[in-house]
A and B are shown apart, each in its own frame.
Chain A
Amino acid sequence: MRKNNQLTLFLLLVVVYICTVFLPPIDPEIIEKYHLSLTSAYLLSLSIVVPLVAVWICAFYGYWALKRYAETVKDTIEGRGLGQLAKGLMILAFSLPTLASVASIFNYLAESSPQYLQIMVIIHQLIIIAFPLVAFMMISNGAEELTSRLKKKMKALQNYKLLSLLIIVFSSLFCWTIIALADKNASPQGVYSLPEWLIVVAVVVPYLYMWYRGIMAVYYLSFYKDHVRGHVYKQAFGYLSQGLAAVILLAICIQFLAVLTPQLQRLNFTPILIILYILVAMYALGYGMIAVGAKKLKRIEEV
């Protein structure tokens, strides 16, 4: 697909998201609970949507710049790895407006047809996990391919015993958070409205695997940056790996916050807004750094 077609599709997805935010009527309960007027409610939505859309466009630019660079060097030994990295970033960029729209649509459907809640939650979970999972797998494969082309070969992870312990502790904590906390919240079936075994199979395992692949991608890119020659080239890959690390950290934070949704809903309006702005700022940091790194790489081949 040409860049113009991709950009058109991307902007179309953004417009769909904006429509899903502003076209349905605002829940009167929310307006009453937070003592908002209709205008201030729309303005607040706008204050989140505008920076969010800017970050998504930044994510698209990061993908497009890396794709351009990958196409320029496709016949070199880095070509294949960079191509996979670019494809992973493409899925990640397109997933941003797509998943946000899907979430809005599913929320609307869940309220209008509560009898289908469980099946809708399962489908929603599958969709929101599938996109980033495939993206991080491709990014990780691309980064691994790049490091395999280095003269210096990667050794087994140092301090792997400590790392194994950290992974086990984090995975157990995440599993406990989802099962214990989510289940005590809200409905009898918890936040996910699913049986516990299905939460483990459909939520916990895919998320943990996705984050693991994402963290490995950051590790491979950092290794590549440390061992490839070229100051400017290293700098560009430094931005890419740090940006990706911020995106993964954000994905983890969002998942923990999703579990705590009922507790968050009990908070006042200001802390909720602060949390939302912090998340948008983290989004901007992560995708901004990816875009800067990709732009630097693209620029090398333009001068």
Chain B
Amino acid sequence: MQSSKSLYKQAVDISSEYLGPSAERFIGRQVANHLKKDPERLTKQDMPRLIEWVRVTFSLLTDDQELIESFVADLQTLSNTPSGKAQVPNAQSK
């Protein structure tokens, strides 16, 4: 089944596992400030840059390298999925 959610919303869903209620604002800020575009217009081509920025900024919030890598891996899974449908985040199993 194809996901009806935008790529941005799927990225927010993944981020919620790490940032809770702040996830939407966090991803929104990364897209708006670093990619200079409207978050709803996020595309797969933007994902590598977004992931790099998430790695940098999330590192400022936690020293837990495993958690940082898990977050990045979850976003990469979303980026690599052909349909763009979000997979179950790794963080669920932590």
Interface on A for B, CB 8 Å cutoff?
73, 76-78, 228-235, 296, 299-301, 303
Contacts and interface: CB of A to CB of B under 8 A. Distances in A.
B61 A230 contact: no
Nearest to B26: A300
B62 A231 contact: yes
A118 B4 CA distance: 72
B20 A303 contact: no
Contact of A229 (B16, B26, B29, B67): B16
A232 B25 contact: no
A296 B23 CA distance: 14
A197 to B, nearest CB: 49
The 5 closest A-B pairs by CB, nearest first: A230-B20, A233-B20, A303-B57, A300-B22, A230-B19
Contacts of B48: none
Contacts of A229: 16-17, 20-21
Interface in B40-94: 57-58, 60-62, 64, 67, 91, 94
Contacts of B60: 299, 303
A233 B22 contact: yes
Contacts of A76: 21
Contact of B61 (A73, A77, A78, A300): A300
Given A299-B60, A300-B26, A232 B21 contact: no
Nearest to B21: A78
A231 B57 contact: no
- Among B18, B58, B94: residue with most chain A CB under 10 A: B18
A240 B19 CA distance: 16
B21 A230 contact: yes
B4 to A, nearest CB: 21
A176 B29 CA distance: 57
A231 B25 contact: no
B91 A231 contact: yes
Given A299-B61, A300-B26, A303-B57, A233 B21 contact: yes
A108 B26 CA distance: 53
Nearest to B70: A231
B45 to A, nearest CB: 23
A230 B17 contact: yes
Given A300-B26, A303-B57, A228 B21 contact: yes
Contact of B67 (A77, A231, A301): A231
Contacts of B20: 228-230, 232-234
A301 B29 CA distance: 9
B9 to A, nearest CB: 15
Nearest to B15: A230
A300 B62 CA distance: 10
Contacts of B29: 303
Given A229-B16, A230-B22, A232-B61, 20 more contacts: A73-B25, A77-B21, A78-B21, A228-B21, A229-B17, A229-B20, A230-B16, A230-B17, A230-B23, A231-B17, A231-B18, A231-B62, A232-B18, A232-B20, A296-B61, A299-B60, A300-B19, A300-B26, A300-B61, A303-B61
A230 B25 CA distance: 13
